[in-house]
Structure formats: C-alpha cells, structure tokens
Amino acid sequence: MFYVIGLGLGDPEDITVKGLNIIKQCERVYLESYTSILSCGQEKLEEFYNRKLILADREMVEQRADEILEGTENKTVAFLVVGDPFGATTHTDLLLRAKEKGIQTSVVHNASIMNAVGCCGLQLYHFGETISIPYWDDSWKPDSFYDKIDANLKHGLHTLCLLDIKVKEPTLESLMKKKREYMPPRFMSVSEAAGQLLEIVRNKSTDDGNKDDHHKLTENSLLVGLARVGHESQQIVACSLRDMKNADLGPPLHSLIIPNGRLHPLETEFLQQFAELDLQKT
C-alpha cells in the first residue's frame, strides 16, 4: 500500500491518530519538503513519530518518483505532506503514477491553509478561486493571476493568495554544470506580495482608468495578512494594500487574502479585531 498522509498545519501533534498509526507500520516514510514547510522541523517530527524520515525534495518527487514507489507492491510506504494531500498537483500526479503501476493507494486527509484561513473570520463559502503569487525578478514579472483576483471581486468573492516559496532551487549557473548548487531558501512575505500587487494595480490604473470602487483592487482596498496559521505564534493583520506593503508578520509561512468589497456584518465584526482601521467606514 502507498499512503499519502496530511500532516496538518505544522505542529507534530497535528497529525491524525489514523495517520500516526500508519506511519508506525510503514517500511519507509518520506517527508515532502518543497510545496510547503513545517516550522517545527524534521527532527521534531522524527522524535514524535519515533522513526527516521526520508526527505523528498522537488528533484526526487518530480524526477525520481519511481524511487519513492519502489517495492510498494508488497511493502507499505508513506509519503507525508504538510497540510492536506490534495493541496498541490504534484501529489495528485504521484497517486496517478502509483495507480498506473497497479499499486494500491490510500489518502489520509488533514487541515490545510485552504480551510484554516477561516480563522480571520471571513466565511469559507465566500471564497472564489485561489491564486499563487510568484516571486518576480528583473526580467520576469508575471501578472496573469491578477485576472482571477479581478473576476473574484466582480462576483463578490474573497481571494486566497498562496505566496511563493523557493526551497532547494538550483542557481542558473549550476544548471550548466554537472554539480548543482542551490540558492538559499526564500519564503515570500505579505509585504513582498503587497509590493508586487501595488505595482500591478498602478500599471492597471494607468492602462484602464481603474476607479476606486468595490469591484476593483486599489491601493486603499482591504487586505488580510496571515502568518504561521495554526501555530501559537499565529498573526493576522487587516489593513489597506498600501499599508500591507509595510507590514511585518515575522517568520514564514505567510498567506494573503483579498476580501470582496462588501463584507457580511459577521465578517466585519470578527475581522475588526485584527484591523488597523475602522472596517465599518471602508
């Protein structure tokens, strides 16, 4: 059997009883390490599970999946994922590969940022399509995700923005060498994401005469920044896009929410505790 097990939001004890019992019975246990991170670290997990974990980076999962699945026809192997197993398409691909090989599979679900964002008081059934905001560089500044934000706002829906992380990314120079070298890990903050959104908003304003209304993202639009959701050090702040650029929510992981322009009264009341402005007047 090949198990894909969700670990929840990051604390070793977030794993389900079912997931923990399976881990104890497995021949091999892999820990996926690039679509998200655990702030507690691999060592704490190994201590809690009382067993060694094999770190599975992007290269292993995407290029050496057969190595992970090897022997699962007659052995039990687990693949551990931060959050829920279906939070990333990579994990879906791994399950499909297993099925193609005739390997039995099973999934153990857990909490993820996709549902835990309700901690800020915005109601989950008011969310539209989730987007990812990638890091920009000097020659590559994609903004196609903005169209999805715009569509969500027009339909009165909130937008959850998942922020880019870079773990074990090879340097451009090393790609031309036989020996790879990797860039230091990077985790996008709400401040960095807001800075990129501000640039897009200003460009769009110039292009189409964007007006400050409930159906457009502007510098004055309300945003919600979240950090380390599910941890004791969790932080939430609600402020304008312009002010979010200066927000410091500490260590990763961060997420960003762009609420719709017309909050439900209960959403406004709950969100007010995190706000740096009077939401009743926005």
Binding site per annotation, positions for S-adenosyl-L-methionine: 9, 84, 87, 112-113, 163, 229, 254
Question: CA 214, CA 282: separation in Å to the nearest integer?
Answer: 10
Annotated binding-site members? 9, 84, 87, 112-113, 163, 229, 254
CA distances from 108 to 82, 85, 98, 264 (A): 12, 8, 16, 34
Report the C-alpha dihedral over residues 215, 217, 221, 225, rounded to 10 degrees. 120
* CB contact at 8 A, 180 and 170: yes
CA distances from 14 to 10, 29, 60, 131, 206 (A): 7, 17, 25, 25, 47
For the beta carbon of residue 47, count every other beta carbon within 10 angstroms: 12
Nearest Cα neighbor of 147 from 207, 73, 79, 75 is 207
Which DSSP symbol is given to 125?
A: G
Which DSSP symbol is given to 264?
A: -
Question: CA 196, CA 241: separation in Å to the nearest integer?
Answer: 10
